[in-house]
C-alpha cells in the first residue's frame, strides 16, 4: 500500500462541553494559588495604607487623598476577587461532592486526573490515575503502562457526569 492510500487517522473534535469540564477543573486546581496571591496582595495593600495614613495624617494635600483613595479601591478589588474565588471554589467542591462523593473510585479518578496536576499532558495525568486505580491500566512489554478499555470508558463516563453536574451538556445530548 502506498503512502497516498494509507488511511489517515483523523481525530474527532473535542466537544465544547468536555473542554468546559477541563477548564473548570483545572481552574479549580489553581484556585488555592490565586487565593494565596490575593491574601498576600491584601496584606501588602493594608500595610501600604497604614503607612501612608500614619505619615500623612496631619497633612491633607490632594495627592495624599488621591493616593489613599486608590489604595482603598485596590483593597476593595482584591477582597472582592478573593471572595469570588472562594465562592467559585466552594461551588465546584459542592458539585464534585454531589456528583462523586469523596472516597469513591470515580472521585479518586477526578482527583488524580484533573485536581492533582494542573493541565499538562494527558499521558502524565493518566499515569497519576494508574497509580491510584491500577485496574484501569495495563503494562506493555517495555514496562510502560497504558490505559485499557476501562480507562477510556471511565474517563468518558466521568466527563459526561461532570458536564451534567456543571450544566455544560447541550439539550440534544440530555
Q: Record the cell numbers describing residue 147, joined without a space.
A: 490505559
Tell me, what's the pLDDT at 173?
66
Q: What is the pLDDT of residue 151?
A: 86
C-alpha neighbours within 13 Å on the C-beta side of residue 150: 11
| pLDDT at 4 (0 to 100) | 60
Among 75-79, 90-94, 146-150, whose mean pLDDT is lowest? 146-150
Given a contact cutoff of 8 angstroms between Cβ atoms, the answer to whether 131 and 113 are in contact is no
Which pLDDT tens digit goes with each residue over 95-154?
A: 999 999 999 999 999 999 888 865 677 788 888 888 888 888 777 777 777 777 888 899
The average confidence (pLDDT) of the chain is 83
pLDDT of residue 56 exceeding 80: no
pLDDT category of residue 20 using cuts at 50, 70 and 90: very high
CB–CB of 141/152 below 8 Å? no
User: What is the average pLDDT across 59-82?
Assistant: 78
Amino acid at each position: 500500500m502506498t503512502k497516498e492510500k494509507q488511511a489517515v487517522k483523523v481525530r474527532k473534535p473535542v466537544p465544547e462541553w468536555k473542554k468546559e469540564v477541563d477548564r473548570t477543573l483545572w481552574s479549580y486546581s489553581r484556585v488555592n494559588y490565586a487565593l494565596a496571591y490575593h491574601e498576600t496582595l491584601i496584606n501588602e495593600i493594608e500595610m501600604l495604607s497604614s503607612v501612608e495614613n500614619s505619615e500623612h495624617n496631619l497633612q491633607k494635600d490632594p495627592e495624599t487623598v488621591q493616593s489613599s483613595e486608590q489604595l482603598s479601591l485596590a483593597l476593595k478589588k482584591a477582597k472582592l476577587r478573593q471572595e469570588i474565588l472562594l465562592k467559585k471554589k466552594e461551588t465546584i467542591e459542592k458539585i464534585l461532592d454531589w456528583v462523586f462523593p469523596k472516597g469513591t473510585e470515580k472521585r479518586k479518578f477526578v482527583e488524580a486526573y484533573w485536581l492533582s496536576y494542573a493541565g499538562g499532558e494527558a499521558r502524565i495525568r493518566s499515569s497519576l490515575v494508574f497509580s491510584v486505580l491500577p485496574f484501569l491500566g495495563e503494562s506493555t512489554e517495555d514496562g510502560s503502562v497504558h490505559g485499557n478499555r476501562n480507562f477510556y470508558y471511565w474517563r468518558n463516563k466521568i466527563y459526561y457526569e461532570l458536564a451534567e453536574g456543571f450544566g455544560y451538556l447541550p439539550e440534544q445530548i440530555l
